[in-house]
Structure 1
């Protein structure tokens, strides 16, 4: 039964439809939500997604990849928006599940819009070689670093804006802070630039997409926890 795997209250992601799941999701849009009710083996109600305090009115008949964060692990299927309605001042989507649930084999991460100041620098050739031999080689944190702004973050990487254009495939040493249990915690991560572009509406500013290549798994779980805590806060405020 469907309820053996997912239950009301489970977090989900609705991702604009793609024929496969991969770590390189490009510009595929994701929406955070949670299960409101299980109607049958093929139909569920979920909360209407919110983004920056605004309801996201996903279109009826829209097709989405659905990722479920359940006690059984990460599960996936495809679904269609069958209906949307309001009940007791809550906005609900009814989803028809159009494929069986399956384990999500290749882990993806929801990208959360934010504005976080951070520091970064490119790795030297010597550091890059050392990390290849020892993934958790200690990086010198006292060297000069550039400043930028993280504009979205996930358990898999960041997107940031900076005045310096970095070449694609450059490996970076990244430092930022996130609140955890009421205090700020430092995160020091190695990443690789996947894509770079100059912002059309802000000449001299460059957007960079970065994938983490060396990250402690406890730190990754911290980041995911931070994202969903922030999403919950936004949903409560709305």
Structure 2
């Protein structure tokens, strides 16, 4: 894949390097803006917890994105920072070509988004008339690879759930996920006793991209609020 295939607004996941072999333990959100002469890539300055994250020239990074339902990535170095058209920018020099990758780790965003779920027996053959009703609850956090869900009733580790995530009034995302983490609160967190980490098992690339876009937009709103 070539860099000229990147489109304006393409959502990006960024992980910085502290040293040649050590990554910063923070995953950041950004988006592609445009290409300048000499194959210089301009991206939006990354966001973390609703604030611009400081990145200095000379910093190396891994950049990951979704294209046609697949994950791709490349390594790059920050050559400069700037502001153009009221957008805080980083200018990148690619250090490698774009390669297809097999990775399911994504940034996480703390948010309480409505979600409907129900436990299912076999994710390959869902018999809707035999499954229970969808139950409404809220997320604890959200990412491109999965979601944290707050529960009143326990769902065991390894179970499968069918979910409908309501990003906003016109944006519903459906997926099937597997419970990869179960936490029981030592004290009741409001009306919720449990929290599960759900890894996406069946989700379209388009819906995954919608989740990432939602996270980016919400981060932008937090920045504007200060």
TM-score category by the smaller chain? 0.5 to 0.7
1:65: Cα distance to partner? 1.7
Over 3 Å counting, the alpha-carbon distance change for 1:233 and 1:122 in structure 2 is closer
What corresponds to 2:112 in structure 1? 115
What corresponds to 2:127 in structure 1? 137
What's the RMSD between the two structures over aligned residues? 4.0
Task: Map Cα deviations across residues 166-190 of structure 1 (whole Å, 9 max, x no partner).
Answer: 43212223344344xx646474x43
Q: Tell me the TM-score normalised to structure 1 length.
A: 0.65
Return the structure number with greater strand share. 2
SS at match of 1:224: helix
- After the TM superposition, which residues 14-163 of structure 1 pair with which residues of structure 2 at under 5 Å, given as runs? 14-16=14-16, 29-41=27-39, 43-51=40-48, 53-69=50-66, 75-87=72-84, 89-104=86-101, 111-123=108-120, 128=121, 131=122, 134-138=124-128, 140=130, 142-143=132-133, 145=135, 147-154=136-143, 156-163=145-152
SS at match of 1:231: helix
What corresponds to 2:22 in structure 1? none
1:109: Cα distance to partner? 5.5
**Bigger relative contact order, structure 1 or 2 (CA pairs below 8 A, ≥6 apart):** 2
How far apart are the structure 1 equivalents of 2:6 and 2:34?
A: 11
Over 3 Å counting, the alpha-carbon distance change for 1:104 and 1:164 in structure 2 is same
What corresponds to 2:180 in structure 1? 194
1:7: Cα distance to partner? 5.4
Task: Map Cα deviations across residues 74-117 of structure 1 (whole Å, 9 max, x no partner).
Answer: 53111233433344543211223222222345576654543212
1:11: Cα distance to partner? 3.4
1:193: Cα distance to partner? 0.8
Aligned length: 214
Structure 2: give runs of 5+ residues left out of the alignment: 18-24
How far apart are the structure 2 equivalents of 1:93 and 1:84?
A: 5
What corresponds to 1:225 in structure 2? 210
Over 3 Å counting, the alpha-carbon distance change for 1:139 and 1:191 in structure 2 is farther
Over 3 Å counting, the alpha-carbon distance change for 1:33 and 1:184 in structure 2 is closer
